[in-house]
Amino acid sequence: MTNAVSAPAPADRRVRGVTPRLAIAAAVILLGAAAFNYRWAYGYALYHGHIAIDGRISGHGADMPSTAVACVNCHDPSPIAASGGRNVAPLTRASLLESHARRGGPPSAYDEPMFCSVIRAGIDPASVMVNRLMPRFRLPDAQCSALWSYVTSR
Ligand code: HEC
């Protein structure tokens, strides 16, 4: 009397099952890495102005030229930024993820939704409004997420 359902799987069938599982795991890891690299590269292009983004001075009716609103213009040290006397903090993993007081508010740190909030509405994690020099951007979620991926990798 045999019971095919409850019988233990023969050892060789169990061994053969390992290879497809490994292949699936490898595919998942590779797809995850590809998606991350795509997001990072998209974020890099947005940050450096290689892809146009829509941003304007708070309260203004028209967008600034997309070459002017590229994040790199104000957030990375450059001859232009230096000559303009600006002192804008670089956007890095440490500057965003570590909790510290910003603009006189209580200590705060960013996560992705807060990062998108400050870029879109100018409101930081401690609910403090940022300076008008920081443009307000109309960014779809995918662009915001890509920028977050890029700046938190630096
Ligand atoms: C025209 C200059 C300018 C451009 C372009 C600009 N920023 Fe800013 N940004 C600022 C200034 C100035 C501040 C600081 C405002 C303050 O401290 O009140 C700031 C602050 C920020 C902060 C808050 C940092 C913190 O520690 O709280 C984030 C995040 C940020 N910018 C992201 C971006 C991103 C992303 C882009 C591009 C999509 C960008 N900015 C483009 C000028 C700029």
Question: Would the pLDDT of 78 be above 80?
Answer: no
118 Cβ below 6 A of ligand 1: yes
Q: State the amino acid at position 151 in one-letter form.
A: V
Ligand 1: does its nearest atom lie under 6 Å from the Cβ of 124?
yes
Q: Residue 56 forms beta bridges with which residues?
A: 136
Q: Is 94 in the pocket of ligand 1 (CB under 6 A)?
A: no
- Is residue 65 over pLDDT 70? yes
Mean pLDDT for the chain overall: 86
Match 């779809």 to its residue by tokens: 140
* Number of C-beta neighbours around residue 97 at 10 A: 11
pTM: 0.82
The fraction of the chain above a pLDDT of 90, given in percent, is: 54
Could you tell me if 74 and 80 are in contact, meaning their C-beta atoms sit under 8 angstroms apart? no
Which ligand 1 atom sits nearest the alpha carbon of residue 128?
A: 18
> Does residue 62 have a pLDDT over 70?
yes
Q: What angle do CA 79, 37, 45 make, to 5 degrees?
A: 35
How confident is the model at residue 15, as a pLDDT?
63
With a CB cutoff of 8 Å and minimum separation 6, the contacts of 129 are 122, 123
146 lines ligand 1 (CB under 6 A): no
- Asked if residue 119 has its Cβ within 6 Å of ligand 1, the reply is yes
Measuring CA to CA, how many Å separate 118 from each of 65, 124, 132, 144? 20, 5, 12, 11
- Mean predicted confidence (pLDDT) in 56-66: 88
Q: What is the spatial distance between Cα 39 and Cα 44, in angstroms, rounded to a whole number?
A: 9
Range in 33-37, 120-124, 128-132 with the lowest mean pLDDT: 33-37
pLDDT at 32: 83
Q: Which of 57, 78, 130, 132 has the most ligand 1 atoms within 8 A of CB, as the residue to mutate?
A: 130
Question: Taking 70 as the threshold, does the pLDDT of residue 11 lie above it?
Answer: no
CA of 118 to the centre of ligand 1 (A): 8
Q: Which residue's CA lies nearest to atom 30 of ligand 1?
A: 119
> pLDDT (tens digit, 9 = 90+) per residue, 80-105?
555 555 568 789 999 999 999 999 99
Q: Per-residue pLDDT for 9 more than 70?
A: no
Closest CA to 48 of 152, 153, 154, 147: 147
